[in-house]
Amino acid sequence: MQKKISSIPFNGTAEQEAKLKEIIKKHKDDPGAVMPVLQEAQEVYGYLPIEVQTMIAEGLSVPLEEVYGVSTFYSQFSLTPKGQYNISVCLGTACYVKGAGKIIERISEILGIGAEECTADGRFSLTACRCIGACGLAPVMTVNDDVYGRLEVEDIDGILAKYMA
Amino acid sequence: MYRSNVLVCGGTGCTSSNSELIIQKLKEEIAAKGLEKEVNVIRTGCFGLCALGPIMIVYPEGSFYSMVKVEDIPEIVEEHLLKGRIVTRLLYQETVEQDTIKSLNHTPFYEKQKRVALRNCGVINPEKIDEYIAMDGYAALGKVLTEMTPQQVIDEIKASGLRGRGGGGFPTGLKWSFAAANEADQKYVGCNADEGDPGAFMDRSVLEGDPHCVLEAMAIAGYAIGASKGYIYVRAEYPIAVNRLRIAIDQAHEYGLLGDNIFGTDFSFDIELRLGAGAFVCGEETALLTSIEGKRGEPRPRPPFPAVKGLYGKPTILNNVETYANICQIILNGAQWFKDMGTEKSAGTKVFALGGKIKHTGLVEVEMGTTLREIVEEIGGGVPGGRKFKAAQTGGPSGGCIPASHLDVPIDYDNLIAIGSMMGSGGLIVMDDTTCMVDIAKFFLEFTVDESCGKCTPCRIGTKRLLEMLDKITKGQGTPEMIDEMEKLCYYIKENSLCGLGQTAPNPVLSTLHFFRDEYMAHVVEKKCPAHVCKKLLQYKIVEDKCRGCTACSRVCPVGAIQGSVKQPHVIDPNKCIKCGACMEKCKFNAIIKE
């Protein structure tokens, strides 16, 4: 899958950097540490800009290309920042058969952004995700940690309005 | 002792529909009535009937409340838990028969099921090891360590006929014997919980509802092959499962059921969790092992098989979650007990995740050899909305579509392969006549193109070319020759790809071509989509005698494609129409049709 790379300047804080150093220290001697460190680093920064990947490579003493190879391989790692509200629409089979395509189209229309994009004000980002395993409630979408199931296209405006206020 | 036990489903499906709030409210109301010493609230794993979540069962009566709302809780507590009067209005209506209330096990959804792997799901609190132990938990590990040799364990699993539940169907006992036969200073036991097939959630439910049964089985496997270390590779998209596994591992340590000298023997075994990061190919065993090593999850050529050279180059066995969920029961009840279930070549049961256009979406476990018709029509309650069953898709992006003509085939590994699909991990998606089979094939190809790791050319480029052809066909640019070409390419990809992902990626195309070739032909010859799904091949039309000229459609049309004066029939200009369907939704007289 092609990854979008952020053009927004990096502005990590000293506090975040201290946390990252802590994470690197914790995993330094584990075999196969790159993935767990990237996962925890993404929790700290919200995404994985090249600056963070460089710090990880140096900290773990592995080549940057190896870190970059891993971060671009797995879909969970994001090289672009997420919006304040990240909307994730499930496009797994069960949801797709039940019309998830129309749901994502409507959201796209309202927000004016496509999948894997973020609105200019940084408020909303949109992701098309694979099965989240809530197939019994298909079609499903999540806004940060809130889950919305058994969706109809007509529900979308109301749901988004809650977060626009 | 509590006089009543209230079980509330804490699986992902029900949690998504607010079962946490229900538990909280229940506890508040019960405390307000001073019943906290009499009534116990338990958060369990998945009951299976996700379509009706959130689900709540009150024992000893066994009253099954479905689609419970927070507002219903005060009434249930007041009437049922305090006064002992069941709130019939809120019960699952299939359990209510005139004046009597049936047991849940006699409803069509549960009656035909046989729960082995799921036996504890929805029954115990998965966050309490004591409840697992009360259900004979860790008895199998105790028996193995004190009464059996590793060879006896392998022989027992071999004799049971258990085959890998992740999809491939490789005999589990045989796999273990390969790893046992290889001498090494270190061996590993892996659990594949990277459930990547969209529409499949069997493994997640086992991990959420009964995590200890996987830990116990992994320890048994460790004893059998001589490994002291296990890894569970679980999807990060399953936060509830990850959390319960963590709790379970900690509790097992505390009780001395994991760690050094288990049951006072010289056998030591430990388990570590590894989180996946969203790569479908990591469900393939060699890719999964590469990923545990912290690298890009690319598959490796086999041989050498992991049983010879696996994780960090050491002998490794890798089994799926559901396979492990059967192990302890085989040890406790004997190989013959297991072999007596299912068919001759596929023993035991299989869990399916029912989804799509079916009334009872959810999780079911049936004996192998059950027909698709029984699963779809009897257990699943059939296709809703009066629509017609068209096909069932099994095996996810590696499987195929089974048409109505094969509904009576008994489901087992070999029969499904014979009709061009595969068991897969157990996702079963039902499609009705509004589903376009070319569009579905395209949907799966989009998935595989996205998820192909790019290491080998047949898969990386071949699937991309396949998708391009499918895309053309759905846009009306296909030709009959293109279909033949596509078929040829499919076989080429199957024969030449490195790993299971590429070798099975063309299956959705091949099986739909086999069973629904006329639908492909309609796309390329008549340039029509019979299911009215492919937008480019659609035309919206207004039926003249049904149109009242209310102008609702022309007002909603975003591109001004509809013309007509008030109270006169309207017309759609096909050149302007963008096929958004807004007019059709708006029309109150059903005057607008798709062709």
Assess whether A91 and A68 both reside in one domain.
Answer: no
Residue of A2, A3, A35, A159 best to disrupt the B interface, most CBs of B under 10 A? A35
Instruction: Name residue, tokens 């509809």.
Output: B562
The β-bridge partners of B328 are none
Inter-chain CB proximity B17 and A74 less than 8 Å? no
Three-state SS at B478: coil
Asked whether residue A1 carries a pLDDT value surpassing 70, the answer given is no
Note whether A50 contacts B: Cβ–Cβ < 8 A: no
Boundaries of every domain in chain B? 4-111, 129-338, 349-432, 437-526, 539-594
CATH, range B4-111: 3.40.30.10
pLDDT at B465 over 80: yes
Residues of chain B in contact with residue A101, where contact means CB-CB under 8 angstroms, are: none
What's the whole-number mean pLDDT along residues B564-577?
A: 91
Residues for chain B: how many in total?
A: 595
**How far, in Å, CA of B429 to CA of B401, rounded?**
9
Range of the domain at A145: 85-164
What pLDDT is attached to residue A48?
A: 93
* A20 and A56, same domain (yes or no): yes
**ipTM value for the complex:** 0.87
Please give the class, per CATH, of domain B437-526: mainly alpha
Q: What CATH architecture is B539-594?
A: 2-Layer Sandwich (3.30)
Domain assignment present for A63? yes
A155 assigned to some structural domain? yes
How confident is residue B449, by pLDDT bands cut at 50, 70 and 90?
very high
Strand partners, B363: B353
Q: How many helices (H) and strands (E) does chain A have?
A: 7, 5
Q: Could A34 and B294 be called an inter-chain contact, meaning their C-beta atoms sit closer than 8 Å? A: yes
Tokens 């069960």 found at: A94
Give the pLDDT of residue A130.
80
What residues of A are in contact with residue B535 (Cβ under 8 Å)? none
- Whether residue A96 is found in the same domain as residue A148: yes
A4 belongs to a structural domain: no
Q: Do A133 and B312 touch (CB under 8 A)?
A: no
Are the CB atoms for B403 and B356 separated by under 8 Å? Answer: no
Q: Does A132 touch chain B (CB under 8 A)?
A: yes
Average pLDDT score over chain B = 94
If asked whether residues A66 and A92 sit together in one domain, one would say no
Answer with the one of A23, A49, A73 that is the final residue of a domain. A73
Q: pLDDT band at residue B199, thresholds of 50, 70 and 90?
A: confident
Nearest to A135 among B201, B296, B440 (CB): B201
Question: Into how many domains does chain A fold?
Answer: 2
Over range A111-127, report the average pLDDT.
88
Options 3.30.450.80, 3.40.30.10, 1.10.240.10, 3.10.20.600; CATH for B349-432 is 3.10.20.600
Q: Produce one character per residue of B254-266: b if its CB has 16 or more CB atoms within 10 Å, e if not.
A: eeebbeeebeeee
Are the beta carbons of B542 and B451 closer than 8 angstroms? no
Does residue A122 sit in the same domain as residue A149? yes
Q: What is the CATH number of domain B129-338?
A: 3.40.50.11540
Does A9 fall in a domain? no
- Give how far the C-alpha of residue A74 lies from the chain's centroid of Cα atoms, to the nearest Å: 11
Tell me the per-residue pLDDT of B368-407, one tens digit each, with 9 for 90 and over: 999 999 999 999 999 999 999 999 999 889 999 999 999 9
Q: Does residue A142 sit within a domain?
A: yes
Identify residue A83 by its one-letter amino acid code.
Answer: G
The neighbouring-strand residues paired with B172 are none
CA distance B285 to chain A (A): 16
Do residue A47 and residue A99 come from a single domain? no
Smallest Cα distance from B429 to chain A, Å: 6
Residue B331 · residue B140 · CB < 8 Å:
yes
Span B171-194, average pLDDT: 96
Task: Indicate whether A152 and A131 sit together in one domain.
Answer: yes
Structure tokens at B60: 């000893």
pLDDT in tens, A59-118: 999 999 999 999 999 988 988 888 899 999 998 888 988 889 999 999 999 999 988 888
pLDDT at A2: 61
Has residue A4 got a pLDDT over 80? no
Nearest CA-CA partner of A75 in B451, B226, B500, B521: B451
The answer to whether residue A78 is domain-embedded is no
Contact across the interface for B357 and A97, Cβ inside 8 Å: yes
* Inter-residue contact B465 to B362 (CB < 8 Å): no
- B564 in reach of chain A (CB within 8 A): no
Say if residue B98's pLDDT is above 80: no
d(CA B506, CA A33): 35
Which of the residue ranges B46-55, B221-230, B343-352, B476-485 would you say has the lowest mean pLDDT? B46-55
CATH number of residue A135's parent domain: 3.40.30.10
By C-alpha distance, the chain B residue nearest A140 is B16
